Amino acid sequence: MSHHKLSYEAVLFDLDGTLLDTLADLGESVNRVLESLGFSGHSIDSYRFRVGNGVRKLVERSLPPDRQEVFEQALTMQKEHYRRFCTVHTRPYPGVIEILKSLKASGLKLAVLSNKPHDLTCYLVDYYFGDQGFDLVCGHQDGRALKPDPGSALGIAAALGVRPDRMVFVGDSAMDMETALAAEMVPIGVLWGFRPKNELIKGGAARLAANCEDLLKCILST
């Protein structure tokens, strides 16, 4: 345990755009599907505004608006492709592994909440951070509301035995900040992710972190 009293007891992280740079693998999986259905793909960079609200929204936003009749087929194809190739380009952001070690060493509980399907969320966290000691990892499960609904975040707080106002929620989108506020957690926005700074500010970020060193200060400074 650290020598000073921590301001918080737990840190809840978003996954895509916060811990892992998954953009290229996500974008490529959708582009392969679009091309095989006879449509044009999109630039990888443009996917930063298509991801985040779950896989159904990702596919819907990527298909031509007038060709949504192939949606279910495209969704199935994307899920199959992404499962097979989700670790090709994906990497932890610089400093993430070190910050997780520091937070853990400070006595904080760590958890992940993603709108990715639950099995894939668990797989990716285990693949890249297996020994980093997350206390709880939660992806989207059928019948559960996606972020920004606070239900899953509050469920994690309860499971960890931590009051929501003693938890930090770290993410890279307005949706993450809105989830944090709805759950009465402290919203911290990271600037290295998929969405721009002004979106995080509009979403209600209490603090902004430009890099992992910054983030560590935001969380550990009393």
d(CA 151, CA 8): 20
d(CA 174, CA 73): 30
Strand partners, 169: 12, 187
d(CA 219, CA 131): 21
Tokens read off for 176: 């993450």
Count of other CB atoms within 10 angstroms of residue 94: 11
Burial class (CB in 10 A: 0-12, 13-18, 19+), 196: middle
131 is catalytic: no
Could you say which of 14, 25, 176, 214 is catalytic?
A: 14
DSSP helix/strand/coil, 103: helix
Cis upstream peptide for 117 (omega within 30°): no
Tokens read off for 51: 């991801």
Q: CA dist 57 to 52, 71, 204, 210, Å? A: 8, 10, 23, 28
d(CA 110, CA 78): 30
Catalytic residues: 14
